[in-house]
A = this chain, B = another copy of it.
Amino acid sequence: MRTAEPLHLRLLRLLRDQGAVSRAELADRLEMPRPRLLAELDRLVNAGYVAEAGLAASRGGRRSTLVELNPGLRFAAVDLGASSIDVEVVNGRLEPVIAYAEASDIRSGPKVILQRVNELLQKAKVEGAYERLDAVGIGVPGPVSFRDGVPVSPPIMPGWDRFPVRELLTREHKCPAVVDNDVNIMAIGERHGGVAHSVDDFLFVKIGTGIGCGIYLTGEVYRGTDGCAGDIGHIQVDSHGPMCSCGNVGCLEALFSGAAMAKDATVAARSGASPVLAERLAASGAVTALDVAEGAVEGDVTCIRLIRDGGRRVGGVLAGLVSFANPSMIVIGGGLAQLGHILLAEIRSVVYRRSLPLATGNLPVVLSELGPRAGVTGAAVLASDVAFGEAL
């Protein structure tokens, strides 16, 4: 059974998303009797979550006072990718105070990686970004038990299975922590500050080293029974396709992903099918999805064909998911979103042709607005939610 969200959580979220608000407006917005609201505000001021922010503009009669989130609130937001670490420290309104991004290999294992995360957060502290953290949110590239705060059987993260990520961060920073899947945090970020703002049912499709899907249903992230909902990279798209790292054949991400595209691009460069790619291979010794994107912009037909083939495959899977889930928006993000509008056009074309007309009548298929910041933004949202939820 669904339970109503407590007043303090709704109140703190409203200040996070709106900034300074007058007491009078807060009572209206939260549909709350004024005495109860004022008592709650007093409590949150005393607990250090809320601060006075001067007088509001007059609405006639006595002027109401403004309140805002305590300007000293600080959350850490961490986005671990297969080959990257992104760390931000943000204030209560989730505006970045300091940010670090560096290359990294998730296969180094949890001790090395989390040690590095803690070093970066220590550096941020030394540089004056915070005195103490109010919560930490972190995304990892694999399935997560959201309840337990641990990765669960993550295929590309050796050594991380059931490693107590949340517990370690809580102990280190003496504040609540929350762990989620990297694609889920991107979806959360995009809904908070991106193109899916105010959409309750949408799919966030990340196309990067692998392919995954963040699922928002009725306004909440849907994680599935075991926390692995959205693992669409291993849906079979061609029963005669190439072997996938998972042991099956013809999986979506074996045919189209950062890794698959680099392989196909290398073949096209060597065979002479693409002069642009051949030139880049000769110059740098390797070609990547980015080279394909740039080749397509230069009009190289092989590059355009590689992108369209990939889009057709992603589109075929998404058409099925649209028939199943009937979402109101699809957002395409992740590193390969840089393949841009050629990719998007092909995905749209397949989705609109193959799904039920009723389900696609008002279905936008769009690129992520936040791009590489989607993950840390979502991690910050999760961190603030867990801190606010515990502000009892």
Contact = CB atoms under 8 A, between A and B. Distances in A.
A323 B234 contact: yes
Contacts of A355: 234
Given A2-B4, A5-B1, A326-B226, A358 B321 contact: no
Interface residues of A, number: 51
Given A1-B10, A143-B358, A323-B234, A218 B222 contact: yes
Contacts of A35: none
A243 to B, nearest CB: 14
A152 interface: yes
A229 B326 contact: yes
Contact of A4 (B1, B215, B357): B1
Interface string A84-96: 0000000000000
A330 to B, nearest CB: 12
Contacts of A232: 320, 323-324
Nearest to A350: B236
Nearest to A231: B323
Interface in A304-330: 316-317, 319-321, 323-328
Given A323-B235, A325-B229, A358 B317 contact: no
Contact of A354 (B219, B229, B236, B325): B236
A353 B247 CA distance: 10
A294 interface: no
Contacts of A362: 225-226
A230 interface: yes
B224 A326 contact: yes
A324 B4 contact: no
Contact of A321 (B222, B248, B324, B326): B324
Given A4-B4, A231-B326, A234-B354, 17 more contacts: A1-B10, A1-B219, A143-B358, A201-B225, A217-B217, A218-B222, A225-B328, A225-B359, A228-B358, A228-B359, A229-B326, A232-B323, A234-B356, A235-B319, A235-B324, A236-B319, A317-B320
Interface of A: 1-5, 10, 143, 152-153, 201, 213, 215, 217-219, 222-232, 234-236, 246, 248, 316-317, 319-321, 323-328, 353-359, 361-362
